[in-house]
Amino acid sequence: MATEITMIRHGETIWNTEQRIQGQLNSKLTENGVLQAQLVGNALAKRTFDVLISSDLERAAETARIINTKLSLPHHFNANLRERSFGKLEGMTFAEMKEQYPDEFLAYKKRDPEYVIPKGESIQQLYTRVTSAIEDIAHKYPNSKVLIVSHGLVLEMMMYKTFAMSLDKPRAFSINNSSISSFNIDGNHWFLKEWGVIEHLVSLNVLNEL
């Protein structure tokens, strides 16, 4: 029986605004990120879900807690839904990475799926971790509606799985903070229902223009 999984990327963080590599380190939500989480919570309150699962990293956990003030769902944490580990590169801007670790920067830009970032993980390792975690969740909650709050590259891996995309190809789609995406998972069959919905953030965009 298929499981409907609705995926939310966490709200904007301080390191998002500074273009720093977050990986599995924590960076707090900005005021904008908190408002994004509140707005996506309002949008999700118009839907029904059976359970809420989030990454245990603070930016995702906090986004989930804010959303759940509108939904009051049982909330579980899953470390396998964490962002990719960028090892020794975490906390750096891409400019700092290019200057201090030029070899790692070039390897990162080449997008070799097997390249393991020092003290971190490869794209292939991330893909295996994420897709296995999602299929385990779908197996645990058959014929259910599961809400997940996670990270950008987790969403990316889900899209690559759904469309059988080669992991060495750069993505050609956006992953916005607090966007809504939905998938139907039936065993090894993944289907995209919606991607990157951000209509609920229109009022926030207006606020930013004032």
Pairing of strands 3-9, 180-186: antiparallel
Residue 10 catalytic? yes
Lookup: tokens for 34: 């908190």
User: Which residues lie closer than 8 Å to 117 by C-beta, 6 or more apart?
Assistant: 85, 86, 87, 88, 89, 104, 108
- Report long-range pairs for 197-202 (Cβ below 8 Å, ≥24 apart): 199/43, 200/39, 200/40, 200/42, 200/43, 201/36, 201/39, 201/40, 201/176
CA quadruple 125, 182, 179, 197: dihedral positive or negative?
positive
Residue 156 catalytic? no
The DSSP string of 153-168 is HHHHHHHHHHTT--TT
C-alpha to C-alpha distance for 210 and 190, rounded to whole angstroms: 41
Q: Which 3 state secondary structure label does DSSP give 11? A: coil
Other CB atoms within 10 Å distance of the CB of residue 47 = 13
From the list 10, 62, 121, 200, the catalytic residue is 10
User: Which residues lie closer than 8 Å to 108 by C-beta, 6 or more apart?
Assistant: 89, 97, 115, 117
From the list 4, 12, 62, 83, the catalytic residue is 83
Which residues are part of the catalytic machinery?
10, 83
